[in-house]
């Protein structure tokens, strides 16, 4: 299978202190496949994703190559990169819903984004968004588009983001702990939408999550990061059945236990293991 994304020797460090955050990462995402990145907080997962999107703050320096469809993103101007963000590579953040400007209704953001990428008319955009919002179980989409962000819950706004991504049809979707800021019920709803999205669109994905139960369900391959290094990688099945690295075994055992605990507390709402 063809690699859609190839990251080679990515290094990220702090401009002012010189502290190395990611030392030397190389990984690939195959066309149509989902790569999960797991690892404890602070291990460099988010800075890695933002490096792929070329969205890290100026205080961080980077070296290495990021090939998307064979094109080296590190050589593109910001203007060229902007054309690719959203349309080719789409990032759904942990607090993605905070990206909405509180002073305008949700539909304004959607129209601006889609008009900029595709030049569609307002009517076309409304029709496409309505359809996508319904597909992620958002009821009364037209009404929702006329509401301000604060009038919607975090889970609803995150689903609006996913609906926007569905309309954008990116070549690769990068979801960085997309449910962390949500309450537990919304978390499961949003995860269920990602799983359906994978099944329906088969789009390539990088999925970062603390929840190994979800990773097991959604990912084809897994990278394990620790202190800015990839300590293990392999197919999801290999990682979960015979994790070689001591640290991965630790993560798998504790996280699965936590997940069981969560399911016990939550009762009926659960994600079936594969």
Residue 35: contacted member of ligand ADP, Mg ion, none (CB under 5 to 8 Å, by partner type)? none
Give the integer Cα–Cα distance in Å for 154 and 181.
7
Taking CB atoms, the residue at the shortest distance from ligand ADP is 46
Which residue, 114 or 174, has its beta carbon nearer to Mg ion? 174
Which residue, 46 or 56, has its beta carbon nearer to Mg ion? 46
Residue 47: contacted member of Mg ion, ligand ADP, none (CB under 5 to 8 Å, by partner type)? ligand ADP
Least CB distance from residue 232 to ligand ADP, whole Å?
15
Contact positions with ligand ADP (CB under 6 A) in 45-104: 45-47, 57, 59-60
- Range 139-146 contact pairs with CB under 8 angstroms and sequence separation of 24 or more: 144/106, 145/105, 145/106, 145/107, 145/110, 146/105, 146/106, 146/107
Contact positions with ligand ADP (CB under 6 A) in 17-56: 21, 39, 41-47
Burial of 55 (0-12, 13-18, 19+ CB in 10 A): middle
Which residue, 43 or 193, has its beta carbon nearer to ligand ADP? 43
Structure tokens at 147: 């509401």
DSSP code per residue over 43-58: SSHHHHHHHHHT---T
State whether residue 120 is helix, strand or coil. Answer: coil
Give the footprint of Mg ion on this chain (CB under 5 A).
45-46
Give the footprint of ligand ADP on this chain (CB under 6 A).
14, 21, 39, 41-47, 57, 59-60
């Amino acid at each position: 299978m063809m690699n859609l994304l190839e990251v080679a020797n990515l290094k990220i460090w702090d401009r002012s202190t010189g502290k190395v955050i990611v030392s030397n990462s190389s990984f690939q995402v195959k066309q149509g496949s989902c790569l999960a990145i797991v690892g404890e907080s602070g291990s460099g997962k988010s800075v890695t994703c933002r490096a792929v999107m070329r969205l890290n703050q100026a205080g961080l320096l980077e070296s290495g190559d990021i090939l998307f469809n064979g094109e080296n993103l590190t050589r593109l101007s910001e203007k060229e990169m902007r054309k690719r963000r959203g349309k080719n590579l789409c990032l759904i953040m942990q607090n993605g819903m905070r990206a909405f400007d509180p002073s305008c209704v949700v539909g304004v953001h959607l129209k601006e984004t889609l008009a900029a990428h595709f030049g569609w008319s307002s009517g076309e955009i409304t029709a496409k968004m309505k359809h996508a919002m319904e597909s992620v179980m958002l009821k009364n989409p037209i009404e929702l588009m006329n509401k301000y962000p604060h009038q919607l819950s975090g889970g609803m706004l995150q689903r609006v983001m996913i609906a926007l991504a569905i309309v954008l049809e990116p070549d690769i979707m990068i979801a960085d702990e997309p449910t962390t800021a949500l309450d537990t019920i919304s978390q499961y709803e949003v995860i269920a939408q990602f799983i359906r999205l994978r099944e329906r669109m088969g789009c390539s994905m990088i999925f970062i999550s603390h929840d190994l139960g979800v990773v097991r369900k959604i990912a084809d391959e897994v990278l394990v990061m620790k202190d800015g290094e990839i300590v293990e990688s392999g197919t999801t099945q290999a990682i979960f059945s015979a994790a070689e690295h001591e640290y991965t075994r630790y993560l798998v055992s504790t996280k699965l236990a936590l997940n069981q605990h969560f399911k016990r507390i939550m009762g009926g709402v659960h994600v079936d293991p594969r």
